[in-house]
Chain A
Amino acid sequence: MTIRLETERLVADDVDYDQLILRDRVHGSLYTDPAIFDKEMRDIYENQWVFVAHESEIKEPGDYVRRRIGTQPLIVARGKDLKVRVLLNRCTHRANMLCQSDAGNATLFRCSFHGWTFSNDGRLQGVSFRGGYEQELSELRAELGLAEAAQVGTYGGFVFANLTGDAGDLEEYLGNAKGAIDRLVQLSPEGGIDLSAGWMKHDNNANWKVVNEVQVDGYHPLFVHESLYKAVKPAKVDYSSDELRVAVRDLGGGHSEVDYSREYQNQDREFIWFSSIPRTRVPNYVEAMEALHGPEKTHEILVDGPPHTFIWPNLFLAEMQVMFVEPLAVERTIQYTAPIKLLGAEEMSARIIRQTEGAMGPAGFLIADDAEMGERNQIGLHAQEPEWVLFARGFESETVEERGITSYDRTSETSQRGMWQHYRTLMTEKTND
């Protein structure tokens, strides 16, 4: 069954977004208005490409994970034909949630309410007491398969789906952010990553855009993370220095990044992005990389390190972690974090897991404080004046480069401006159906 985009008029269709999103500021109501949230779910989440899972979570036929797109519950399942499908987690009979486990392996999903069964490719298999309907079972089957996302696509193992209509080509959507996925998988001597270490799930009382904005914000670390840098260990780069060669980049399409590679190149040191460990700690990894790329290219890859890139609207390549958000309500967001295992780099895996726990998640030395800022932001937004949230830093420092609008002022709000300009486009243009 295909999914139809809701076409009924929403309250927030009548909002003039050009008045709320200016070049250097956005209106506070965009973070607090439930009607605007409803429109976002339709026009951003249900009508565009959205990250849903990674292939390593559903390697084998029958593997599935339970997720959401916007507020809609999903099953992301690999069929026996190896195809990945994104199915709405709702029995087509009386709407019971079909699958309860977070992850597992199943060829059939059986509804616990009246026993209807569906194969993991979404087809209706069996109807209990089949005789009670006017139609033949074959007709019911043709009509009542599970609803399925219109488009599913994969790039570098990342699975994206678009629920309704035609959102165009996935690689075109990824645009300049595609290179970030390439940069990540290139760190593996086998050219792939694995998220089997699992997810931490963090419950934030904040709007999903607040949670996203801080991920590519080069202005906050000295303040929000002062306790870590002063009491535990210094930041990997010196955020207080005006000489810092970190780029903030609006990649277009809502994607953006904080690119540390130029600073790393300037220092010409490997693994600055990984606690500056010496090569001797991971000799097999370095050997495997050199066997594949040769010494020069390997040095380059190990200097440049992983991406720090946000992929609109919900995925964040957080260096050695993958993060994504699920918006539950206008002021409630679940943030997921998984350590990245680089295939063919066993020595790195345990370290990445420990590094992830140190920095990220609900108890992390970094993210607990980012989440605190998000929740305080959400409280502050309920004060009526000033109405605006400012994103005015760094206009003068911006230049247009091949990969996007770039500022070499690490504190520039270029990335957030990029998100908001794309947001305005999506909230004002005609939907793709």
Chain B
Amino acid sequence: MTDTRTETASVGTVPAELVDYMVHEARLADENRYEEWESLWADDGIYWIPTGDDKDPETQVSFVFDNRHRIGSRIAQLRSGRRHSQTPPSKMRRQLANFEVLSEDGDVIEVAANFSLFEHRYATTIWAGRYLYLLRRTADGITLVKKTVLLINNEGPIKTIAFIL
């Protein structure tokens, strides 16, 4: 379960390196830089797009619930040149705002941001919601342990999301 109402531990004090990391991840996604995006992930990474804000991925279907292996498959499919739903790839730009640190436990930090994303293929589609990230500090820098995407329209019909959301 995802608690979207968690109170901020330290408003206005999100370390700059974490904001930079989230913005960097967003840029790689926007620009379809698949290999670089994939390299952000920790071995135990989970990329999750639920079908509602209070869903349990063990018992309920998600749009995406990728472990690290499946993240690799997703990227391999995109890179094949035959992923028709991304041929040509979407042109995208997303804005992140309202950064918050939700929790900190040893090396693992939970941060959040609101996002809006303008995606163009045949037409321009607006996507919006909240990103929740679990980031781990390692000797080699920050790695991405979990990215949860809470779309505002996740309970209703949505358009194809073959790009990196």
Which A residues are within 8 Å of any B CB, using their own CB?
Answer: 102, 196-203, 224, 226-228, 230-233, 334, 337-339, 349-350, 353-354, 356-358, 361-363, 365, 368-369, 371-373, 375, 379
Contact = CB atoms under 8 A, between A and B. Distances in A.
A338 B158 CA distance: 15
B157 A353 contact: no
Contact of A365 (B55, B57, B73, B155): B73
A232 B160 contact: no
Interface stretch (B17-25, B62-70, B137-145): B62-70
Contacts of A358: 70, 73
A227 B162 CA distance: 13
Contacts of A375: 122
Task: With a 10 A CB-CB cut-off, give which of B70, B76, B77, B160 has the most chain A CB atoms.
Answer: B160
B54 to A, nearest CB: 12
23 contacts: A197-B60, A198-B52, A200-B61, A201-B155, A201-B158, A203-B158, A224-B84, A227-B84, A230-B80, A337-B61, A338-B61, A353-B57, A357-B63, A357-B64, A358-B73, A361-B61, A362-B159, A362-B162, A365-B73, A372-B84, A372-B160, A372-B162, A373-B84
Contacts, number: 106
Task: With a 10 A CB-CB cut-off, give which of A198, A363, A371 has the most chain B CB atoms.
Answer: A363
Interface in B60-92: 60-66, 70, 73-74, 76-77, 79-85
A198 B55 contact: yes
Nearest to B48: A357
Contacts of A233: 73
B106 interface: no
B158 A227 contact: no
A369 to B, nearest CB: 5
A357 B82 contact: no
B89 to A, nearest CB: 12
Contact of B73 (A199, A232, A369): A232
Contact of A363 (B59, B80, B81, B162): B162
A200 B62 CA distance: 7
Interface of B is mostly: loop
A369 B157 contact: no
Nearest to A360: B61
Top 8 nearest A-B pairs (CB, nearest first) are A227-B82, A231-B80, A203-B157, A201-B157, A372-B85, A227-B80, A368-B85, A231-B76
B58 interface: yes
Contacts of B12: none
Contact of B77 (A199, A231, A361): A231
B77 A197 contact: no
Contacts of A365: 73-74, 77
Contacts of A200: 51, 61, 63
B49 interface: yes
B156 interface: yes
B161 interface: yes
Task: With a 10 A CB-CB cut-off, give which of B55, B66, B82 has the most chain A CB atoms.
Answer: B82
Nearest to B62: A357
Given A231-B73, A358-B73, 9 more contacts: A198-B61, A201-B158, A233-B73, A354-B65, A363-B49, A365-B74, A369-B85, A372-B85, A372-B162
A371 B160 contact: yes
